[in-house]
Amino acid sequence: MNKVNVPNFKLNNGDEIPALGYGTWLGVSEKSSGADQPAEEFGFDFDGTDIPKLLDALSYAIDIGYRHIDTAHFYRVEPEIGQVVQEKINEGVVRREDLFITTKVWQHYHRAADVEVSLRASLHRLGLDHVNLVLMHWPMSISQEGVDEKIDYLETWRGFEEVLKKGLTKAIGVSNFNIEQMKRLLTNCNVPPAVNQIEVNLNLSQADLVDYCQANEVVVVAYSPFGTMVPSRATLNSPEPKLDNPAMLAIGRKYGKTVTQVNLGYLYQRGIVSIPKTVTKSRVLENASIFDFQLDDEDVATLAQFDNGFRTVRPLFWQPYENYPFDVVPGQKHVDIPIAMRKWKNGANGDID
């Protein structure tokens, strides 16, 4: 069996995070890629069809050397992720201390005391006594009924600092925070976030935000690292590069790498962790086989030219809510938050609290 060797980045608490992880978000209905399409077209039905494939691919990923698993309460798969982890421990493939496991607190749990409620529930579903990192999934606080609770994320952060003190997690961080929100948090926290998980890809470099985080010892973790490059995320108005982009293909040939490997290698050279998701074993191996080459300055400059600010993930129905972190797209018709983003049960059968 082929093995991969993934290097680590240092967190501000002294722990290390693998530079590439296995993402476990399976996505939503085909109408709702989250890209710039009319808000009224969003379907947002959770799609669990690929859960068996996800678990098989995750098991394979651990077998070949992946040690970083990224999940969340919202992803609905914490029970299954925990089962795979326990199986791999029981088989002697890994020890718990070899794994870096991240989960996230959803918008319903932004009162300081509710952070612990959420994390303890995640730990129960995962079958763990701690995670390595827990993130505030979004800076907005929204109830299951879709009401803007307007809870200051600084209050929420106090809850994160408490679960850290209690040993329920080894590190705390945020996700989808913009630069102004990061500045305010870093100015008003007792424990600085170890991570900001944000969308970063060739179309969305987020250079100012990435630079600010890195200058303040906050590791950036990139979700949607391929953007709309892959066909499953492409929309009618999504820009280049695609998998057949001539410039990308030429760079790939130069280094003996695929277009997606070039993409991930570029992010790694920027000091960014990536968490690509795939349920295909060959791509699991391919994604982690990127640490044996380095792009030269000319190729880096070529790739940087694809940056145009295009967001793959832009949930427009959250625009009216306080602390929405992205630029607001004007002229959008109001649409209620889909029920699938407000109320759910976990697990493949949707029957686990």
Count other Cβ atoms within 10 Å, centred on residue 304: 13
Q: If you search the block for the tokens 């998998």, which residue do you land on?
A: 243
CA 84, distance to chain mean position in Å, is: 20
Cα gap 175→237, rounded to integer Å: 26
Given 22, 66, 75, 266, which residue is catalytic? 75
Residue 326, C-beta contacts closer than 8 angstroms, at least 6 positions apart: 178, 311, 314
- Look up residue 334 and give its two tokens: 């109001």
Q: Read out DSSP for 88-146?
A: HHHTTS--GGG-EEEEEE-GGG-SHHHHHHHHHHHHHHHT-S-BSEEEES-S--B-TT-
Residue 75, C-beta contacts closer than 8 angstroms, at least 6 positions apart: 24, 25, 26
Q: Annotated binding residue at 137? A: yes
Contact 337, 148 (CB under 8 A): no
Q: Identify the CA nearest to 131 among candidates 159, 153, 163.
A: 163
Residue 253, C-beta contacts closer than 8 angstroms, at least 6 positions apart: none
Cα gap 54→100, rounded to integer Å: 18
- Look up residue 62 and give its two tokens: 């651990």
Task: Based on the residue annotation, tell me whether 75 is a catalytic residue of this protein.
Answer: yes
Give the helix/strand (H/E) hosting 274.
strand 273-274
Q: Identify the CA nearest to 272 among candidates 216, 223, 203.
A: 223
Contact 150, 106 (CB under 8 A): no
Strand pairing partners for 219? 195
Residue 144, C-beta contacts closer than 8 angstroms, at least 6 positions apart: 108, 342, 343
Count other Cβ atoms within 10 Å, centred on residue 26: 18
- Give the annotated binding-site residues: 137
Catalytic residues: 75
- Give the annotated binding-site residues for substrate: 137
